[in-house]
Amino acid sequence: MDVTVVGVFKHDEAAQSALRQLDDAGFPADRVGIVAGNVRQAREVAGSFSPRVAIIGAIIGALVGLGLGLASGMSVNTVAVTPLGMIMFAIVGAFIGGLAGRGKALRSHDYEKYERVVDQGDALVTIRCAEGEQERARTALTGAGATAVRVEGTAETV
């Protein structure tokens, strides 16, 4: 599974310099990203729009929908309505659950620290790598001048 290693740099120029150093160190350009001056983009670094969370929300929504479909079918007491009602409620529940799973209310607020850092004028450099390469990425970011380095459990490269 891929993870994202995030380095915080004091300004855009330091982050740009880090990108060059990471390229020289052999990190593929399509796995390295930079966030500077875009607070909304900073939240994506922590996986704020994780498909995994949306899928979990959809599954929970589908199960709730199935339960509601079963309950409505039982109240109508018609055998033909129950399977169709269950399927309809499951689809609607999955849709609503998927949207809720992507919603801010059900996510960790880990991304707020990145928004704050970028809002204060710092820049983020991200490296998407396999779990086994995270120490190499952490060392590369620190060597490039990162003031802080953190590993996120998502595979987001901005």
Let me know whether 59 and 92 are in one domain: yes
The per-residue pLDDT for 9 is 92
Q: For residue 148, what is the domain's CATH number?
A: 3.30.70.260
Both 95 and 17 in one domain: the answer is no
pLDDT at 117: 84
Q: Kindly list the strands in the beta sheet with 2-9, ordered across the sheet, starting from the edge strand earlier in the chain.
A: 32-36, 123-130, 2-9, 148-152
The predicted pLDDT at position 106 comes to 46
pTM greater than 0.75 (yes/no): no
pLDDT tens track of the chain, all 158 residues?
Answer: 788 888 999 988 898 998 898 888 898 888 888 888 877 777 666 665 556 666 777 777 777 776 766 666 555 555 555 666 667 777 777 777 666 665 554 445 567 788 888 888 899 998 888 888 889 998 999 999 999 998 887 665 56
Cβ neighbour number for residue 30 with a 10 Å cutoff:
8
Give residue 99's domain range: 51-106
33 and 59 co-located in one domain: no
Contact 36, 118 (CB under 8 A): yes
Give pLDDT, residue 147. Answer: 92
